[in-house]
Structure 1
Amino acid sequence: MKKYLILADGGSPHTLKWAKELKKYFNIYMISFNGISDEIKEMIDNNKLYDLRVNISVSGENINVLKKILSVKKIIEKIDPCYINAHYITSYGSVAIAAAMLSNYKGKVILSA
């Protein structure tokens, strides 16, 4: 089964919906900057979940998110997924693109608004 890496808020109901559907077709991995819900923890093996714990501000100025690019790069290299899907374009999308480029990732990067 192909590996699918989701970069998203692990506590979001939207992320849960995506993960539930994608799990039918892919081997799911997840990176979250701010926690992972119990529902997702029950659905995805703990060794496939990465909670990087970043203090995110809805008002912007999230330099701490950018500081996680190298951590995400290492995870991408370790997993080597066929797909990387970042929800949302601003924080998760920026980190996903930068980390994928730094790791010479050859798969597909999908950004969701």
Structure 2
Amino acid sequence: MAWWCLTLLLIGTLLAVLTQPDALLVFPGQVAQISCMLSPRHATIQDYGVSWYQQRPGSAPRYLLYYRSEEDHHRPPDIPDRFSAAIDAAHNACILIISPVQPEDDADYYCSVGYVS
């Protein structure tokens, strides 16, 4: 019993905690920047690969892009190049950049991370 509790405790300390803004108001033609901030008690954001997803009402999440660095990133061919990302090391965050914003970009955006060793 004690072994299971210790295992769960150790696993819990390894999980990344991400924070995103609740909402962002941007008008067509402007630049949207959405942050995905990694909890400071974990490794730096550069140690993680960040995937971004878009979800429109009534639809399944759509994969937008993966970003770890200028040298390590991927955007599928069907995703417009208006979608990009960058690292904000000062805030331990990855930023999704949409430029310029279009009306069809009205959606929820989610990030996920995977540790890269």
Structure with the bigger RCO (C-alpha within 8 Å, sep 6+) is 2
TM-score above 0.5: no
The structure that is helix-richer by fraction is: 1
Report the TM-score range of the alignment, normalised by the length of the smaller protein. Answer: under 0.3
TM-score, L = length of structure 1 = 0.26
TM-score, L = length of structure 2 = 0.26
Decide which structure has the larger Cα Rg and report it: 2
